Structure 1
Amino acid sequence: MNKLKNRYLSLDVFRGLDVALMIIVNSPGNGETSFAPLKHAEWHGFTLTDLVFPTFLFVVGNAMSFSMKKYETLGDAAFFKKVLKRFAIIFLLGFLMYWFPFFENGTLKPLAETRIFGVLQRIALCYLFASILVYYFKTRKVIIFSACALIGYHILLLTFGDLTLLGNAVLKLDKILIGADHMYHGNGGVAFDPEGLLSTLPSIVNVLAGYLTGKFIQKNGQNYETVAKLLMFGCILVFAGLAWDLILPINKKLWTSSFVLLTCGIDLFVIAILVYLLDMTKTFKRTYFFEVFGRNTLFIYLLSEIFIISLFEIKMKGTTAYNWIADNIFIAMAGDYMGSLLFALWVMLTCWLVGYVMDKKGIYIKV
């Protein structure tokens, strides 16, 4: 059985792969001319892009399988102090990111129209609840909670609404509790938040799946039996997700229970393959590019979002710097679809370069 260190290469590379893909899908030169795998499904359905965020939650849980060891000896007060502090910082960073650049036409942007929930906020909430669950309960009870959460969410969706954009239970609860002005309006102008309050419940399961996977690898070691079992579990979850899709469609924006099982299954496949190729056989040794993203994950993601927002805020020849650079450099040079992809790669590589400099200087920003 192989001894594991405080982390393993496959986790850093997995996290780095996901962050790189996240930046690419978030920064197309032209969203209308992006390649199909780099777009979210319109509503029901599944694309490569739909895998990005649940995978991020999965690797958060995976990393927790290492960090939670330290909390077990601290006592309840110290545990809650650390977990709540991390939750608050991540949530606040997400909120400030949506409020940025804070001023508009010389006046402070109104908080009354600022989105409250989003990607980092969901990560914070899922981290908080998952941490409490794995701190107080054994694996069996965590699995029971996960099953109850997915079944319960299915029942809530069908009891208090339908599965349409305008009639779903996630939208109804968010309108009551946070109001339409604080919600995302990217779905044709409709106030609907894909990181809504109710759909946070099933997304906790993605974090728990990552945690249980990390614990399983640490307990059983990086060997052929472990890889085989991860692949088997992944196959079971994918099959279960596709079967559940028959009665509750796979839908990223509603974060349906079938979507959770499918994405957790795919993530098990990927982590198993990475453990085999990187940690066991060491088939691929040139992984540093993705390790850079994996070592300053939160900072690089925030940097990419601030970079994109800033490009939209800067005016340039009657349009935004974002659109001008995309249209007049990348799309003019390589065409609509390839130019759009090259622009996204430029944004991603710019962020990687910052991460590279930080890594060479030994600067690691942790929350």
Structure 2
Amino acid sequence: MQTTTQAAVETTGALPLAEASQPGRLLSLDVFRGLTVMAMILVNNPGDWGHIYPPLEHAEWNGCTPTDLIFPFFLFIVGVSIVYALDSARRDPARHGALLLRVLRRSAILFGLGFFGAIFLQWDLSTVRIPGVLVRISWVFLACAVLFVKTGWRTQVGLLAGALVLYSVLLQGVPVPGFGAANLEPATNFGAWLDRLVFGENHLWKQSRTWDPEGLLGTLPAIGTGLLGLLTGQWLRRAGVDAATKVVWLLLAGGAAIVLGLGWHSWFPINKSLWTSSYVLYTGGIAAATLAALYWLCDVQGWRRGTKPFLVYGVNAITVFFLSGLVARGLNSWKVPFRGQAAVSVKQVLYESLFVPLFTDPRNASLAGALTCVLIWLGVLWVMYNRRIIIKV
């Protein structure tokens, strides 16, 4: 008997396990989502933030590391999933009103989860960070879902191109009040100025308080990432086109986006924190090519071996991301005496007791701590998966 727990929101299109192999359901999308969220947990929970392997760190500013692919992959997946979740209802205009209310509700819950995660154990409204990962997901989901219901793919292509060009113009052509000419520096670009104006410095990323990597203006190109996923989902669901043709054209489109992104990089650099237009194309192209390969492997060739760990993560993606963040904050906030010190976080106690003694290289110890976190959550999610528990709305 299937059990569905409606305590959080799964906006990425996860369906009950019994539906996972039904026609129209993409196993590859669940695998891709699970792989992406597993990577999120890995990079968000190092044993020691001072000793991280370079591939598991974000680029310092311009450029793109493997870690910088994770968030755009997730937003791309959100776009693809919208197509599979809403397509049937979208075809009936009489259902649009109820459908959009459902979309708005999901977006609001995601925003609320993000806000709760930011204030958890701090409980200080005067300094709580308003932008954030879940908040950005909520805005991208809302925009892309509305556009999917109310517009066609040609309009969506036009909006995608317009958003990327407009964002480039705003960041590279509009003077920044109080700073002068347009620039792409962290604290003095137009987006950072807008975030301080709208949110105030106390409500931005605590590592800077002058700019935010999930800021307001950067949500515009992030919606572009979701639109790339939206267009991909519509292509994969297109009737009358054989699977091989879909894969080939998706690979070609992904390759073209990568080339365009790299070409644009020369005057609008690939930058995750700014979510530049070149970054949208570059990461979106890689996401499209990755999904094409997984689609051919899992859905066309029927490959299942070794996919369960990713499915386990994929069907409860938002749940594990949200809960892992709360647990991490709790372990960092709970202080205990340790080795003569009056107040040391429980996380540090566990790390120094369990991992540091086993490794001479602190980077290995830090990586071991992160991998342990991934495995612990895999165990929890495995039990939920086997008991058919999917936390969603």
Global fold match (TM > 0.5): yes
Query: Pairwise mapping of residues 66-77 of structure 1 onto structure 2 (< 5 A)?
Result: 66-72=84-90, 73=92, 74-77=94-97
Q: What is the match of residue 150 of structure 1?
A: 164
Q: What is the match of residue 323 of structure 1?
A: 348
| CA distance in structure 2 between the partners assigned to 1:6 and 1:283 by the alignment | 17
| CA distance in structure 2 between the partners assigned to 1:280 and 1:217 by the alignment | 12
Tell me whether 240-249 or 268-277 shows the greater mean CA deviation: 268-277
Structure 1 residues without counterparts, runs of 5 or longer? 103-108
Selected match of 2:194 from 173, 196, 214: 173
Q: What is the match of residue 332 of structure 2?
A: 312
Q: What is the match of residue 217 of structure 2?
A: 198
Residue 333 of structure 1 aligns with an amino acid whose one-letter code is L
Selected match of 1:11 from 29, 39, 42: 29
Query: Pairwise mapping of residues 246-285 of structure 1 onto structure 2 (< 5 A)?
Result: 246-285=266-305
Shift of 1:80: 2.3
| CA distance in structure 2 between the partners assigned to 1:38 and 1:258 by the alignment | 21
Aligned-CA RMSD value = 1.5
Shift of 1:123: 0.3
Residue-pair matches, total: 357
Secondary structure at the aligned position of 1:319 is classed as strand
**Is contact 2:202-2:209 (8 Å) kept?**
no
**Is contact 2:61-2:271 (8 Å) kept?**
yes
Structure 2 residues without counterparts, runs of 5 or longer? 1-20, 176-181
Secondary structure at the aligned position of 1:32 is classed as coil
Shift of 1:356: 1.1
Q: What is the match of residue 301 of structure 1?
A: 321
Q: TM-score, normalised by structure 2?
A: 0.88
Residue 86 of structure 1 aligns with an amino acid whose one-letter code is R
Shift of 1:347: 1.1
| CA distance in structure 2 between the partners assigned to 1:281 and 1:6 by the alignment | 15
CA gap 1:328/1:217 in 2 versus in 1, 3 angstroms: same
**Deviation readout 1:42-88 (Å, 9 max, x if unpaired):** 11111000000000101111111111224322533212210110010
Secondary structure at the aligned position of 1:219 is classed as coil
Shift of 1:190: 4.3
Q: What is the match of residue 136 of structure 2?
A: 122
Shift of 1:331: 2.7
Residue 213 of structure 1 aligns with an amino acid whose one-letter code is T
| CA distance in structure 2 between the partners assigned to 1:241 and 1:331 by the alignment | 41
Q: What is the match of residue 214 of structure 1?
A: 233
**Is contact 2:83-2:148 (8 Å) kept?**
no
Secondary structure at the aligned position of 1:111 is classed as coil
**Is contact 1:41-1:47 (8 Å) kept?**
yes
Selected match of 2:46 from 12, 23, 28: 28
Secondary structure at the aligned position of 2:390 is classed as coil
| CA distance in structure 2 between the partners assigned to 1:122 and 1:361 by the alignment | 31
Q: What is the match of residue 120 of structure 2?
A: 100
Selected match of 1:87 from 107, 110, 113: 107
| CA distance in structure 1 between the partners assigned to 2:60 and 2:103 by the alignment | 35
**Deviation readout 1:158-209 (Å, 9 max, x if unpaired):** 12431001211111001001100000022xx343111100000000011111
Q: TM-score, normalised by structure 1?
A: 0.94
Shift of 1:284: 4.9
Q: What is the match of residue 333 of structure 1?
A: 358
**Is contact 2:129-2:206 (8 Å) kept?**
no
Tell me whether 307-316 or 119-128 shows the greater mean CA deviation: 307-316
Does residue 237 of structure 1 match 2:257?
yes
Does residue 39 of structure 1 match 2:57?
yes
Residue 345 of structure 2 aligns with an amino acid whose one-letter code is T
